Structure 1
Amino acid sequence: MNKDTPTKDASISEFSKDEPKRSHWTGKLDFLLACIGYAVGLGNVWRFPYLCYKNGGGAFLIPYFIMLVCGALPVMLLEIGLGQYMSRGGLKSWVICPLFQGIGIATLLINFLCNTYYIVIMAWGLYYLYSSMSSILPWSHCQNEWNTNKCASTDEELLTRLCPSGGKSNVSERIEESLIYTNASLYTVHQNVSIANCSLGNIHPVDPVVEFWEKHVIQISGSIEDGGGLVPHLTICLLLMWIIVYFCVWRGVKWSGKVVYFTATFPYIILIILLIRGSTLPGAGKGIEYFLKPDFTRLKDAQVWVDGGTQVFFSAAIALGAMISLGSYNTFNTDFYKRTLIVASVNFGTSFLSGFVVFSVLGFMSHQQNVHIDQVAESGPGLVFMVYPRAVSEMPLPHLWSILFFFMLFLIGIDSQFVTVESFLAHVSDMFPRVLYKTKGRMILTTMTCVIWFAFGLSMVSRGGMYVFQLYDFYSASGMVLLWVAFWECIVIGWIFGAEKFYDAIELMIGYRITKWFYICWKYFTPLVTAGIFAFQVLGFKALKYNNVYEYPSWAEAFGLMLALVSMCCIPIYAGFKLLSLKGSMKERLRIATRPDLTTKQLSKDWVLQEDRLLVI
C-alpha cells in the first residue's frame, strides 16, 4: 500500500460538495483576541488575587504555574487544535472518536447553563456602572430610602446617630432585621438588643456599601423559597445585557471577531490606569506585600495545590467547548500553536496584573480603616460589588474611578459572555449546517436562544435570585464538572485516537513538530492531575451554604446536583447507548465506535489503514 495515498474505507468520509461553507476569521488577530477575550474573565479579577493571598502569597504562584503547564495549557492546545483539525464546533468535533461524542453533548449543556447565570453578574455590574453616574455615589452615605437606622461606616458614626444629643438614655427595642456583616455579605436574624446609656452593646454598624448591595441592588429575601418577585432595575439590566450580546454575535464570527478588537484590549488600558492610581494610594505597598510575600510552608498543604489546579482551569476557560469552537473558525493551516502559547501567557499575566491592582486598593483600605488586610480581602462578588466600591468612595474623584472600574468589568465580562454564546451557537449550527450557516437562519437561532436565556435568567434577578445564582455557580460549571470533561478529553486524544496521531495531525496543519512535552501531558500528566484534583474535591465535598450560614433545603441541593450531573452523565450514557446500537461482538463494536470519521485532507502521509485502523508508520 502506498503510504502517500491512504486507502479510503468507512473511516474516511467526504463532505458533500454543496454543503454550505463554514465561516472563518477575517483578520489575523481575530482568533487571538477572541481567545484572550474569552479566557480573561471576571475570575482573573476577583478570584486569583484572593487565592494567591490565601495560599501563601507569592508561593502560590508555584503550584499555579505547575498546574498551568501540566494541566490547563495542554488541554487548551488540545481543544483549539481539535477544533481547527475537524473544522467543527464542540459537538461535531468528537466524531474523531464517535464513542465519546458525549463529551460534545456535555460541553453543550455546560455552555447553556453558563450562559444562563454568568450574564447575571454583568447585569449587576451594569447597574453599578449606571449608579456611578449619579451626583453622589449611592453607596457612600446612609441617606437613601433603603438604608436602615444601623447604616454607618464606623461605630462612632452609628453612636452619633443613636445619641445625637450626646445625652444618656435607656432604650430597649426589638430589631426585626438585624443585618450582621459577615464575610462581605449579610444574613437576617431576630434578636433583642438593649442599648444602655447610648452604648452600642451588641449592635453592629452596617456599611452603606453592604446595604446598597443587599437591600437595594439584589434586595435579597430570607430564603430560596421566598422568591419575592422580580427586582425591576436588575430585570431591565439583564434585558439590556442580552440585547448587547445579541448584537455582538447576530451576524456570526465575522462580526464578533471585530468586536473583540475593542472588548479584549481596552480593559488593559483601564487596568494600567487603575494600577498607577492604586500604587500611589497610602498603604498600597502594604497590600502588594501581602499579595506577593511568599509563605513556602503552605506548599505542604494539599488544598493549596487543589486551589491552584481549579483556578487555572477556571481562568483558562477550558472544558467548556468554546475553545474548540474558536479553533474551528481557523483555516486548516493556521499556526494555532504559537497563538495558544500567547493566550496562556496573557491569561496568566492578566491574573498577576489584577492582583497588583486589587491588593494596592485593599492595602489602602487597610490603611484607612486601621485594620489588618485579611479583614478586607474577600473573594467573589464581595470583592467586586462591596470591597472595591467602598474603596473608590474614599478616593479623590470617586465617580471617575468607579466608572472606570465597572466599565472595565463590563468589557472583561462581555467578551467572555458573547464568545460562550458563539460557542453554543456553533454547536447547534453544526447539526443543521444547510439552514443555520446562512445569515437568516443564524439570526433566527440567535434570537431564539437569547430569549430563552433571558427567561431562565429571570429567576436570578428576583429577590430570592441570589440563592438560585449560587446554585448555578457552585454546581453547573464547578471544578468537578470541568475536571471530569478535561480528563475524558485527554483520554480520548491521548490514548484512543492516539497522541502520536494527534501530533501528526498538528504537523499536517502547521507544518512543523511541536515540543514533545504536550505528548507526555496528554497521555500521562494531565489525566493524572485532573483525576487527582477531581478525587480530592469529591472526597472533600461539602453541601453548599449561602454566606456560610444559610443552609439550602434538600430539594435545592438535589437541583444543584442535577445541574452538575446532567452534563457529567452524558459521557458514559452516550458511550453505553453507542455500543448497544451497534452489532457484533464487543470487540467489533469498540473497533467501530472508536473509528475516527475523517476526510482525506485530514490524513497524514505517515498513516496507513490496516484492518479499519489508522496506524502510524
Structure 2
Amino acid sequence: HDRQLTGTWCKNQWAKKAEYFLSVAGGIVGLGNVWRFPYLCYKNGGGVFLVPYLFFLMTCGVPLFLLETALGQCISKSGIICWEDVCPFFGGIGYANEIVSFYSSISYIIILAWAFFYLFHSLSQELPWAICSNTWNTASCKEFNKTKLFTNWTKVDNATSPALEFWDRRVLNISRGIDKLGSVNWEMALCLLLAWIICYFCIWKGVKSAGKVVYFTVSFIYIMLIILLVRGLTLPGAKDGIIYYLYPEPSRLADPQVWMEAGTQIFFSYTLCLGVLTALSSCNKYSNDCYRDCVYLCLLNSGTSFLAGFTVFSTLGFMAYEQGVPIDEVAESGPGLIFIVYPHAISMMPVPQLWTFCLFIMVILLGLDTQFLGVENIMIAAKDMFPHYFQKEGRLQAFLLVFSIFGFLVGLPMVAEGGIYIFQLIDYYACSGTCLLFIASFQCICIGWVYGADRFYDNMEDMIGYRPGPFIKYCWTFFTPVICIGTFIFSLVDYTPLKYNNTYEYPEWGYALGWLISLSSIIPMPLWMLFKLLRAKGTLCEMCHFYLFIYLFFPAVPLTLPI
C-alpha cells in the first residue's frame, strides 16, 4: 500500500515552457482582476483590504495552486482521473471540478458576446452609449453635457445615462423577470457564435495550438492595460480616484464580511478547484520546476489585480471630477463597471472611439484566455476518461465541435430578454466561492491526510530536485482545510439570496434552481464515497469503522477499497 505517484503516462506536452506559463497566466488573469478586485479593495477599507487578501493568498491561494499544479504534473493526468489515482475514495473531487468548470465555460462566454457587441459599436462615428437620440432611448435619458448624473444602475433625479439605457434596453433588452424569458436577441446570438468559433479554432489542436495563441493574447492584454493606465493617470481627477482606491480604513478589519470577500476573491481569481490547473500542468515535463512557476504566477496574478485598480480608479476619478459627484457614486463592480460606468467615462475623453476599442479588445482577450482554459480542461478530461476512443485522428476535434455547438445552444437563453437573470443565477450559485471552498477542503484532506503531505513532498522532490519549505505542507494539513471549512460555514450562515440589481427578487423556484445547480457542483464527492463504500466488501458499518480508524491513526495510508 506504500504507493507512490509517478508521471508515467502523458499526452501532448507543451512545446515550450513559455507556452505553459503564458497559458496559465492568461487563464488566471481574467476579468475578475479588472472588475472585481479594485471594487472590493475600495469597498472594504482601501489598502487595509490587502491584509485579509494576503492572508488568504498565503494560507489558501498559493498552497492550493501548488497542490493542483504539482499533482497534475506528477501523475500526468487531468483532475477527473488523478484524484482517483491518489485515493479511489476521493475520486469524486475530479467530477466536481469538471462540473464547476462546465458551468463556468457556458456562462463566462456570455460576457465575451457582450464585449464583441460593444466592440463593433465602438467603430461607429458616434458612440451609441454617449447620446440619447437612439431609438431605444427614453424621455428620461440625459446626456452628460446637459445634466449631472451618475450611473450606478439606478435613476437619479428621474434621469438615466445613455450608457445605462444602452446596456438595459439595447444589449440586454431586459424583461421584468426570469419567468418572462422573451425572445432571443439575434445580434447578441451572432456575437455568442463568433466567440465559440474563435474558441474552437484556437484550441482545436489541443495545447499545441492554444500554446501559440497565448503568445499574442497575454502580451496584448498587458499592452492594453498599460495604455489605459497611462491614459487614466493623465486625466484630471485621477489622483483623487487613486487615493479613494487605496485610502486605508483599519476599522474594516473587524468586519467578518471583509475577510469573507477576500477569501472568495482568491478562489475566484486563481481558478482554483476547477481542475484547470491540474489539466494544464499534466502536459508539463515531469522535471519542470512547478514550485517556482507557482510563485511567479501568483505574484503576476495578484500584481495584475493591484495594477488594474490604478487603471480603473484613475478613470473613475476623472468621471467623478467631470460630473462633480463623489467617487462612491460612480464606483461599480462586475458587468456594471465594464459595460456601463467605464464606457460612460471613456465617452467624456477626446477620441473616445479609440479608447473604447482598446478597452473592449482587452476585455475580449482577458475573457478568451480564461475561456480557453475552461474548455481545454474539459477536452483533456474527456481524453483521459476515454483514451482509446480518442486515439483515432479527428475524434477529439469532433468532440470539441459538438461541445461548442452544445455550449452555444445552452447559451442562447442567456442572450434572450430575460437571459441576464439566468446568467446571474449560474454565476452566483454554480461558480461561487461557497462551492469552491467545499471542494478545496476535500482536496486538502485527500493530499494532506489520506495520501500524506510528507509523501507528496517526496514526489515533489523527485520532480523538481528539492523540497519546498514546510509552511506549504502545514497549510495542506491544517491551515487551509480549517480556513476553508470555517469560511464555508460562515458563507452559509451569512447567506444572502441573490437579487438582480439589488432590487429584483427571484421567484422561489428560481432560488430552488440555484441551489440545485450549486448542489450539483459538490454532491459528486459524497456520492462517490457512498458508491465506493457500497461496492466494498463487508457491511457498511464495518467499512465506516475501518476508514474512521485509518483516518484517525494512520492518516498517510492511501485508502484503496477492496472492490
Q: Pick closer, same or farther for the CA change 1:392–1:612 going to 2, 3 Å.
A: closer
2:354 counterpart of 1:400 = yes
Q: Pick closer, same or farther for the CA change 1:185–1:251 going to 2, 3 Å.
A: farther
Q: Which residue of 2 aligns with 1:122?
A: 112
In structure 2, C-alpha distance between the alignment counterparts of 1:583 and 1:370, rounded to whole Å: 74
In structure 1, C-alpha distance between the alignment counterparts of 2:395 and 2:542, rounded to whole Å: 40
Structure 2 contact 450–559 (Cα < 8 Å) conserved: no
Q: Which residue of 1 aligns with 2:523?
A: 569
Partner of 1:277: helix, strand, or coil?
Answer: helix
CA deviations on 1:565-601 (whole Å, 9 max, x unpaired) are 011111111101111101136698579999xxxxxxx
CA deviations on 1:177-221 (whole Å, 9 max, x unpaired) are xxx9884257xxxxxxxxxxxxxxx96111000110000011001
In structure 2, C-alpha distance between the alignment counterparts of 1:271 and 1:61, rounded to whole Å: 21
**Which letter does structure 1 place at the counterpart of 2:38?**
P
In structure 2, C-alpha distance between the alignment counterparts of 1:114 and 1:241, rounded to whole Å: 15
Shift of 1:54: 0.3
Structure 2 contact 183–417 (Cα < 8 Å) conserved: yes
Identical columns (%): 45
2:481 counterpart of 1:535 = no
How many residue pairs align between the two structures? 552
**Which letter does structure 2 place at the counterpart of 1:112?**
F
Q: Which residue of 1 aligns with 2:372?
A: 418
Q: Which residue of 2 aligns with 1:581?
A: 535
**Which letter does structure 2 place at the counterpart of 1:37?**
G
2:480 counterpart of 1:526 = yes
2:67 counterpart of 1:78 = yes
In structure 2, C-alpha distance between the alignment counterparts of 1:60 and 1:41, rounded to whole Å: 20
Structure 1 contact 483–531 (Cα < 8 Å) conserved: yes
Q: Residue 238 of structure 2: which of 276, 281, 284 is its match?
A: 284
Shift of 1:154: 5.5
In structure 2, C-alpha distance between the alignment counterparts of 1:494 and 1:150, rounded to whole Å: 59
Greater shift after overlay, 395-404 or 582-591?
582-591
In structure 2, C-alpha distance between the alignment counterparts of 1:611 and 1:471, rounded to whole Å: 38
CA deviations on 1:95-135 (whole Å, 9 max, x unpaired) are 21110111111111111111110000010011101110111
**Which letter does structure 1 place at the counterpart of 2:131?**
H
Q: Residue 82 of structure 2: which of 93, 109, 112 is its match?
A: 93
CA deviations on 1:279-305 (whole Å, 9 max, x unpaired) are 000000000001111111111111111
Partner of 2:397: helix, strand, or coil?
Answer: helix
Partner of 1:26: helix, strand, or coil?
Answer: coil
Shift of 1:232: 1.3
Q: Residue 277 of structure 2: which of 302, 307, 323 is its match?
A: 323
2:223 counterpart of 1:269 = yes
Aligned residue runs from structure 1 range 338-349, under 5 A:
338-349=292-303
RMSD between aligned residues: 2.4
Q: Which residue of 1 aligns with 2:552?
A: none
- Normalized per residue, the structure richer in helix is 2
Q: Which residue of 2 aligns with 1:176?
A: none
In structure 2, C-alpha distance between the alignment counterparts of 1:340 and 1:281, rounded to whole Å: 36
Q: Residue 121 of structure 2: which of 131, 135, 151 is its match?
A: 131
In structure 2, C-alpha distance between the alignment counterparts of 1:442 and 1:592, rounded to whole Å: 42
Q: Pick closer, same or farther for the CA change 1:404–1:439 going to 2, 3 Å.
A: farther
Aligned residue runs from structure 1 range 242-391, under 5 A:
242-391=196-345
Aligned residue runs from structure 1 range 430-579, under 5 A:
430-579=384-533
2:134 counterpart of 1:144 = yes
Q: TM-score, normalised by structure 2?
A: 0.94
Structure 1 contact 98–593 (Cα < 8 Å) conserved: no
Partner of 2:79: helix, strand, or coil?
Answer: coil
CA deviations on 1:30-52 (whole Å, 9 max, x unpaired) are 11111111101100000000000
Structure 1's unaligned 5+ residue stretches are 1-8, 159-179, 187-201, 595-608
Q: Which residue of 1 aligns with 2:551?
A: none
Q: Which residue of 2 aligns with 1:40?
A: 29
Q: Pick closer, same or farther for the CA change 1:346–1:263 going to 2, 3 Å.
A: same
Shift of 1:529: 1.3
Shift of 1:434: 1.6
Structure 1 contact 185–382 (Cα < 8 Å) conserved: no
Q: Which residue of 2 aligns with 1:66?
A: 55
Structure 2 contact 7–76 (Cα < 8 Å) conserved: no
**Which letter does structure 2 place at the counterpart of 1:389?**
P
Partner of 2:460: helix, strand, or coil?
Answer: helix
Shift of 1:62: 1.0
Partner of 1:24: helix, strand, or coil?
Answer: coil
**Which letter does structure 1 place at the counterpart of 2:518?**
A
2:80 counterpart of 1:111 = no
**Which letter does structure 1 place at the counterpart of 2:252?**
R
Structure 1 contact 155–205 (Cα < 8 Å) conserved: no
Shift of 1:72: 0.9
Q: Pick closer, same or farther for the CA change 1:496–1:205 going to 2, 3 Å.
A: same
Partner of 2:417: helix, strand, or coil?
Answer: coil
In structure 2, C-alpha distance between the alignment counterparts of 1:552 and 1:439, rounded to whole Å: 47
Q: Pick closer, same or farther for the CA change 1:612–1:243 going to 2, 3 Å.
A: closer
Structure 1 contact 99–574 (Cα < 8 Å) conserved: yes
In structure 1, C-alpha distance between the alignment counterparts of 2:295 and 2:289, rounded to whole Å: 11
Shift of 1:435: 2.3
**Which letter does structure 1 place at the counterpart of 2:230?**
I
Structure 1 contact 475–563 (Cα < 8 Å) conserved: yes
Partner of 2:26: helix, strand, or coil?
Answer: helix
Greater gyration radius: 1
**Which letter does structure 1 place at the counterpart of 2:434?**
M
Q: Pick closer, same or farther for the CA change 1:384–1:581 going to 2, 3 Å.
A: same
Structure 1 contact 578–593 (Cα < 8 Å) conserved: no
Q: Which residue of 2 aligns with 1:597?
A: none
**Which letter does structure 2 place at the counterpart of 1:59?**
V
CA deviations on 1:438-460 (whole Å, 9 max, x unpaired) are 44111011001111111110010
Shift of 1:505: 0.7
In structure 2, C-alpha distance between the alignment counterparts of 1:133 and 1:234, rounded to whole Å: 17
Partner of 1:503: helix, strand, or coil?
Answer: helix
Shift of 1:612: 9.3
Q: Pick closer, same or farther for the CA change 1:553–1:612 going to 2, 3 Å.
A: closer
Q: Which residue of 1 aligns with 2:153?
A: 184
Greater shift after overlay, 325-334 or 280-289?
325-334
Shift of 1:261: 1.1
**Which letter does structure 2 place at the counterpart of 1:144?**
N
Shift of 1:611: 11
- Normalized per residue, the structure richer in strand is 1
**Which letter does structure 2 place at the counterpart of 1:119?**
I
Shift of 1:548: 1.3
Structure 2 contact 68–277 (Cα < 8 Å) conserved: yes
Structure 1 contact 224–464 (Cα < 8 Å) conserved: yes
Greater shift after overlay, 431-440 or 455-464?
431-440
In structure 1, C-alpha distance between the alignment counterparts of 2:302 and 2:20, rounded to whole Å: 18
Shift of 1:252: 0.8
Structure 2 contact 5–75 (Cα < 8 Å) conserved: no
Structure 1 contact 55–298 (Cα < 8 Å) conserved: yes
Structure 1 contact 97–593 (Cα < 8 Å) conserved: no
Shift of 1:86: 1.1
**Which letter does structure 2 place at the counterpart of 1:341?**
V
